[in-house]
């Protein structure tokens, strides 16, 4: 056992968080232990506590890092002077990229957040609800402007986000299309299905 290996872009804590995300995705938050994480990181278990307080702190770090990143992106898109369809496409592409490029963290924040402890659990649930409402508001604006078919915006958001979470099966596939082709196919289906033509 030695020191935590880092590169120029990541601190030791960031390395631990990334390894924790991979472990939580593989085993589930509840089943994963700090001892297993120490093995994966390559240090004694006691050394981990020089950088983090607990396993629950790691889950908090993963979940809120993802939630804050998505919230900030949503805010930037809301302020753009573009059509509602263009906003939706940008948001969907951001989600798809997240599932392809940051799969472990996004997966954990989407599936394991229920193990957060209050007040963080309530806070995270509120962030999720608010995010979905903001997404639905963009769809509703598009419906009012006749850009989007008259559909239930809340249902549309759920369908789109569930479709993107299905990228999990793409990661497991042995014969898969490229990430770029996956993205373009999903945009064609999801955004194309909204257009009021």
Mean pLDDT taken over the chain? 90
Q: Do 24 and 80 belong to one domain?
A: no
Helices 103-111 and 84-101 pack at an angle, to 10 degrees, of 100
Q: pLDDT of 77-91, one tens digit each? A: 999 999 999 999 999
Q: Are residues 123 and 158 in the same domain?
A: yes
Which regions of the chain are under pLDDT 50? 1-2, 4, 8-9
Q: Is residue 4 in a domain?
A: no
> Which CATH number does the domain housing residue 83 bear?
1.10.357.10
87 and 114 assigned to the same domain? yes
pLDDT tens, residue by residue, 20-43: 999 999 999 999 988 888 888 888
The reported pLDDT for the residue numbered 59 is 95
The structure tokens listed for 175 are 């014969």
Our count of domains for the chain comes to 2
Question: pLDDT at position 34, please?
Answer: 87
Claim to verify: residue 102 and residue 31 sit in the same structural domain: no
Residues near 2 by beta carbon (within 8 Å), at least 6 away in sequence: 42, 43
pLDDT of residue 5: 53
Based on the fold, state whether residues 43 and 70 are members of the same structural domain: no
Q: pTM of the full predicted structure?
A: 0.88
- The answer to whether residues 102 and 159 belong to one domain is yes
Query: 33 lies in a domain?
Result: yes
Count of residues in the chain: 197
Q: Based on the fold, state whether residues 44 and 70 are members of the same structural domain.
A: no
Lookup result for tokens 């509602």? 84
- Determine the Cα–Cα distance for residues 64 and 96; give it in Å rounded to an integer: 18
134 in the same domain as 90: yes
On whether both 115 and 184 belong to a single domain, the answer is yes
Structure tokens at 39: 């093995």
Distance CA 60, CA 75 (A): 22
Residue 7 maps to a domain: no
* pLDDT at residue 182, rounded to an integer: 93
Residues 79, 121, single domain; the answer is: yes
Q: CA dist 60 to 14, 20, 46, Å?
A: 13, 11, 20
Q: What is the pLDDT of residue 181?
A: 94
Q: Which domain holds residue 184?
A: 66-192
Within-domain flag for 135:
yes
For residues 160 and 84, membership in a common domain is answered with yes
Domain of 37, CATH number, reads 1.10.10
39 CB-contact burial (10 Å; exposed 0-12 / middle 13-18 / buried 19+): middle
């Amino acid at each position: 056992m030695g020191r935590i290996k880092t590169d120029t872009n990541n601190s030791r804590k960031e390395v631990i968080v990334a390894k924790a995300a991979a472990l939580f995705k593989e085993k589930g938050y509840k089943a994963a232990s700090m001892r297993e994480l120490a093995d994966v990181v390559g240090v004694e278990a006691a050394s981990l506590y020089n950088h983090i307080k607990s396993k629950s702190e790691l889950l908090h770090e993963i979940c809120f890092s993802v939630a804050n990143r998505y919230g900030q992106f949503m805010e930037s898109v809301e302020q753009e002077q573009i059509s509602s369809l263009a906003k939706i496409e940008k948001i969907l592409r951001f989600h798809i990229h997240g599932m392809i490029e940051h799969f472990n963290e996004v997966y954990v924040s989407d599936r394991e957040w229920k193990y957060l402890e209050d007040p963080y659990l309530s806070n995270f649930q509120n962030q999720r609800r608010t995010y979905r409402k903001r997404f639905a508001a963009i769809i509703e604006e598009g419906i009012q402007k006749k850009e989007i078919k008259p559909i239930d915006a809340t249902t549309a958001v759920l369908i789109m986000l569930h479709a993107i979470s299905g990228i999990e099966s793409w990661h497991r596939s042995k014969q898969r299309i490229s990430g770029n082709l996956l993205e373009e196919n999903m945009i064609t289906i999801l955004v194309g299905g909204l257009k009021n033509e």
